Amino acid sequence: MTPSSHPDADTGAESSTGTETRTDPAPDPETRNRARATRAHSFNTAAAQYAANRPSYPPALFDAIEELAGRSLTGARVVDVGAGTGIATALLRARGAHVLAVEPGEGMTAEFRRTVPGVPIVRGDGNALPLLDACVDFLTYAQSWHWTDPARSLPEALRVLRPGGSLALWWNTDALDVPWIAAQARRIERYFDDEQAGKRGTGSNEGVAGTHSERAFAGADHVPDHAHRVVRWSRRVPVDTHLANVTSHSIFLVLGEEGTEAFLAEERAHLWEEFPDGQVEEVYDVLVIVATRS
């Protein structure tokens, strides 16, 4: 999966279903920006669902970040941008980092304060960071960089990073080489009649994002020197937790309750057939990209 095909990311106008390809007229920028804003803010109405059901991240991810950055998170000054409900923030703090969270959404901020007490959080977003110049060692974006405009967010990141500081971006992506996960992705694609809706993982025709990580910086005036790593991990969760995770993505949140319930009724039956013990084995490839300021 590339960051542009993340289920919460903005998608293009071209999609395919089965063997037919549909190309719709591209919406004007204002329409696209409104739709993007609607999806971005949809999380504020589902913050508790997000906190309770979204997957965490494995220790090996933070090992990879430290290796790619060439420095430890322990004792580092870290700003976690688009912190959401604090899933990554809590892990960064446990790693020994001094963390400040930045989050634009009121609902997510309220949930963050309940789940990660004691960590300071300020309202803001990656396009205009409420931070001084050269003040942080790490700037992290867990599942959130794709909501920014790299033409603005990359210069902002370089502005606030100290020399030698690192920008770390990562996404939990579904491992589409696992047959049941690929089948679910196809069902989501058909349900939304949208090719991008089903590309939730790294198993698309382009393979693991790797050499396509430059796409994370599309729109910026330059692509910074960066390195990447893919870390595979898994978790076992009840069927209902898995479904709550799936439907916590913005594409479902903006669909509404009636449409989401129709999908859930069908998808639950598929999952019980695949996992008769009621425990779903979710498999993830975490794509992590680290760019270090010279």
Please report which confidence band the pLDDT of residue 198 belongs to, taking 50, 70 and 90 as the band edges: low
**What local confidence, expressed as pLDDT, does residue 132 receive?**
98
CB 64, CB 289: distance < 8 Å = no
What number of other Cβ atoms are within 10 A of residue 120's Cβ? Answer: 10
Backbone phi, psi, residue 74, to 5°: -60, 125
How far is C-alpha 100 from the chain's CA centre? 19
Higher pLDDT, 194 or 262: 262
- 104-124: per-residue pLDDT in tens? 989 989 999 999 999 999 999
Question: What's the pTM value of the predicted model, to 2 decimals?
Answer: 0.82
Task: Give the pLDDT mean for 67-88.
Answer: 97
Round the average pLDDT of the chain to a whole number and report it: 83
**What local confidence, expressed as pLDDT, does residue 30 receive?**
55
> Cα separations (Å) of 278 from 234, 240, 243, 268?
16, 9, 12, 10
Query: Is it the case that residue 173 has pLDDT exceeding 80?
Result: yes
And the tokens for 108? 């997510």
